[in-house]
């Protein structure tokens, strides 16, 4: 079974997807982290994110792997380095490049070929796994997402004003929904869940309920 969970930045996809995968015994695929890692790689190389030709030429040197819930970039654990506002926006920029999407989509599909999977991202249900058994679109108001991101950053010792975070989220939403390739949008056959007034636990239970219903029908 493949479950896709798409949605905008800060909607709680990572927390929910990881927990759903854990409870169902599925593999958790954080595709957003893959784009973040790719963006970090290019920034470390000093490559401008608007230089598509140069970025494409360096993709052959990009190696991304998941292990024990952590993401490794060319052997280095970058799980914490990729969770910054700067990398958040950089990931949106780099995700517009066709060669980047082609490479990462290929990796994602290969992972899903032989695994029960919870795939989290922005185009999982529309592009990467269009035949997924269950598709969710998890969203929340920009204001609520900004509050959540502020708390997340505060726990890491990063003090950023709510107004700045809200501006970044709205900017990311605009970039993701308006990009020419694989724009952020719900799949036609997806179920939309607004988590603005729901706890992560409530969302997890809803998704597992849907998954169990589909599993019973397949039997």
Q: Which residues contact 155 (CB under 8 A, 6 or more apart)?
A: none
- pLDDT of 219 above 60: no
* CATH architecture classification, 2-218: 3-Layer(aba) Sandwich (3.40)
How many Å apart are CA 166 and CA 46, to the nearest integer?
A: 28
Residue 54 scores a pLDDT above 90: yes
Backbone φ and ψ for 81, nearest 5 degrees, come out as: -65, -30
Percent of the chain with pLDDT over 70: 98
Sorted by sequence, the CB contacts under 8 Å of residue 56 that are 6+ apart come out as 97, 99, 100
Q: Is the dihedral of CA 174, 176, 178, 184 positive or negative?
A: negative
At residue 69, the pLDDT reads 79
Task: Give 190's pLDDT tier (boundaries 50, 70, 90).
Answer: very high
**HEC readout, the chain:** CEEEEECCCCCCHHHHHHHHHHHHCCEEEEHHHHHHHHHHHHHHCCCCCCCHHHHHHHHHHCCEEEECCEEEECCEECCCCCCCHHHHHHHHHHCCCHHHHHHHHHHHHHHHCCCCEEEEECCHHHHHCCCCCEEEEEECCHHHHHHHHHHHHHHCCCCCCHHHHHHHHHHHHHHHHHCCCCCCCCCCCCEEEECCCCCHHHHHHHHHHHHHHHHHHHC
Q: In sequence order, what are the beta bridge partners of 72? A: 65, 77
- Contact present, 29 and 16 (Cβ < 8 Å): no
Convert the pLDDT of each residue in 82-91 to its tens digit.
988 889 889 9
Sequence spans of domains, the chain: 2-218
| pTM of the predicted protein model | 0.83
**Range 65-91 average pLDDT:** 90
Position 77 pLDDT exceeds 80: yes
Residue reference for tokens 């726990």 = 155
pLDDT, residue 115, reads: 86
Can you read off the two tokens belonging to residue 206?
A: 């809803």
């Amino acid at each position: 079974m493949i479950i896709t969970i798409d949605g905008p930045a800060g909607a709680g996809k990572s927390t929910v997807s990881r927990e759903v995968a854990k409870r169902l015994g599925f593999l958790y695929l954080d595709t957003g982290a893959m784009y973040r890692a790719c963006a970090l790689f290019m920034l470390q190389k000093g490559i401008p994110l608007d230089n598509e030709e140069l970025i494409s030429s360096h993709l052959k040197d990009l190696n991304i792997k998941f292990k024990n819930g952590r993401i490794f970039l060319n052997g280095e654990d970058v799980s914490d380095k990729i969770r910054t506002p700067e990398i958040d926006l950089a990931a949106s920029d780099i995700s517009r490049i066709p060669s980047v999407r082609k490479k990462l989509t290929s990796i994602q599909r290969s992972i899903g070929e032989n695994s029960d999977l919870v795939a989290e991202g922005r185009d999982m249900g529309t592009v990467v796994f269009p035949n997924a058994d269950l598709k969710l679109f998890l969203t929340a108001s920009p204001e609520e997402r900004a509050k959540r991101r502020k708390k997340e950053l505060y726990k890491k010792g990063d003090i950023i004003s709510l107004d700045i975070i809200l501006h970044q989220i709205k900017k990311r939403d605009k970039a993701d929904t308006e990009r020419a390739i694989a724009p952020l949008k719900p799949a036609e056959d997806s179920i939309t869940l607004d988590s603005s007034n729901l706890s992560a636990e409530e969302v997890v239970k809803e998704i597992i309920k849907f998954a169990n219903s589909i599993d019973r029908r397949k039997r």
